[in-house]
Amino acid sequence: RKEVEQDPGPFNVPEGATVAFNCTYSNSASQSFFWYRQDCRKEPKLLMSVYSSGNEDGRFTAQLNRASQYISLLIRDSKLSDSATYLCVVPQNFGNEKLTFGTGTRLTIIP
């Protein structure tokens, strides 16, 4: 199993809809998780951190399922500006912290 796996999409979703995508991870000892947003030809920027069961920030909700080893990102009332690639990050501590990214999920919001 890969350290971090994401559905690459693309997800094409009408404006105003709710969309969710998952990220699975292999290291059951992982304690923290992050969702980043990357716009085309730009650097990734932090969207949300997840340390316990979940986190909510406005229209965005991240949830952690430790038993099944995945985190999810839910976007409600999607806006055109939400179109981006969403990257899941799971720090891997193998003596030295290795920061592993998923391949990213591409989201396009359609007017």
Partner 1 sequence: DGGITQSPKYLFRKEGQNVTLSCEQNLNHDAMYWYRQDPGQGLRLIYYSQIVNDFQKGDIAEGYSVSREKKESFPLTVTSAQKNPTAFYLCASSLGSLNTEAFFGQGTRLTVV
Region from 15-23, 56-64, 67-75, 88-96 binding partner 1, contact rule CB under 8 A: 88-96
**Taking the complex as a whole, how short is the minimal distance between the CB of residue 33 and partner 1, in angstroms?**
10
- Let me know: does 97 contact 72? Beta carbons within 8 Å: no
Q: Does 22 bind partner 1 (CB under 8 A)?
A: no
Instruction: Tell me the CA distances in angstroms from 39 to 21, 68, 109, 111, one per residue in order.
Output: 17, 29, 13, 18
3-state DSSP: the chain helix, strand, coil percent, rounded to 5? 5, 55, 40
Map the footprint of partner 1 across residues 33-52, applying CB under 8 A: 34, 41-46, 49, 51
**Taking the complex as a whole, how short is the minimal distance between the CB of residue 17 and partner 1, in angstroms?**
24
Instruction: Tell me the CA distances in angstroms from 16 to 59, 68, 90, 99, 110, one per residue in order.
Output: 11, 29, 29, 33, 9
Q: Which of 87, 108, 110, 111 binds partner 1 (CB under 8 A)?
A: 87
**Taking the complex as a whole, how short is the minimal distance between the CB of residue 21 and partner 1, in angstroms?**
14
Q: Does 98 bind partner 1 (CB under 8 A)?
A: yes
Distance, in Å, from the CA atom of 26 to the CA atom of 37, rounded to the nearest integer, reads: 22
Tokens of 66: 């430790």
Task: Please report, as ranges, the residues that interact with partner 1 according to CB under 8 A.
Answer: 6, 31-32, 34, 41-46, 49, 51, 87, 89, 91, 93, 96-104, 106
